[in-house]
Amino acid sequence: MPERSEASNHGTPRERVIWDPLLRVFHWLLAGFVIAAWLLGKYGPNVMTWHFWCGYVVTGLLLFRLVWGFVGPPEARFSHFLRRPSAIAGYCRHLFLRQPSHWPGHNPLGALSVIAMLAALAAQVSTGLISDPEDYINVGPLASYVGSEMATNAVDWHELGANIVLILVLLHVAVILFYRFWKREDLVTPMITGRKEVREE
């Protein structure tokens, strides 16, 4: 499959369905429950039952995304948007052009952000499941299956992971704003409607 450059002028942009309904529902549910879990973890009650339930939902969503990355529609599959380093470098060379990319799905940098976010969230729910703050209240449901030292350390890892997730979310929002106001490309509406203008090869 030939690598595609953002500066390519082949074809005329035309609107078509890119994001399937299940992927769009996944995206907004994940955003909502991650934000809720983060806020409850930072400012919630001492007995963080709702924080735990948000974490369980996020875990289920991540499992869905893993499966959907192999069996979902083409644009949702990992094989569709994971690119070689040369393609990523080529995309970066044209990143600051003041024109939409019209990329059919995740662009090479967007693909990296997806993988980073999924990996960070997977690590976050994993540490949450095995954390034991030794307060006999907010103990992860799998803490008893690991050593006490690991369960105690997982509390610190979970706190660090929360900060990493926050950074990734803020970076995600910043990139959306960059595309909206610099590149004049709306990335939010397609994730609502599923439809996006893409440049056909």
Tens digits of per-residue pLDDT, 171-201? 999 999 999 999 999 999 999 999 999 876 5
Tell me what pLDDT residue 7 has.
42
CA-nearest of 83, 74, 63 to 16 is 74
For residue 123, the one-letter residue type is A
Residue 172 located in a structural domain: yes
Q: Are 128 and 157 in contact (CB under 8 A)?
A: no
| 2 found inside a domain | no
Which domain CATH number covers 55? 1.20.950.20
Task: Give a yes or no: residue 141 inside a domain.
Answer: yes
- Could you tell me if 8 and 183 are in contact, meaning their C-beta atoms sit under 8 angstroms apart? no
Residue-wise pLDDT tens digits, 145-162 = 999 999 999 999 999 999
Q: Residue 2 has what pLDDT?
A: 43
pLDDT interval class at 11 (50, 70, 90):
low
Tell me, yes or no, whether 10 lies in a domain. Answer: no
pLDDT at 201: 56
Distances (CA, A) of 183 to 100, 110, 114, 155, 159: 5, 15, 20, 41, 35
For the chain, the domain total comes to 1
Give residue 105's pLDDT band: very low, low, confident or very high (50, 70, 90).
Answer: confident
Is 90 among the domain residues?
Answer: yes
pLDDT number for residue 80? 87
pLDDT value of position 42: 87
pLDDT beyond 70 at 12: yes
Distances (CA, A) of 112 to 29, 30, 85, 94, 106: 21, 18, 11, 17, 9
Model confidence at 10, in pLDDT bands (50, 70, 90)?
A: low
pLDDT > 50? residue 5:
no
Greatest alpha-carbon pair distance for the chain in Å reads: 62
Q: Is residue 164 part of a domain?
A: yes
Cα 201 to Cα 193: distance, rounded to the nearest angstrom = 23
Q: What is the mean pLDDT of residues 16-30?
A: 96
**Whole-prediction pTM:** 0.89
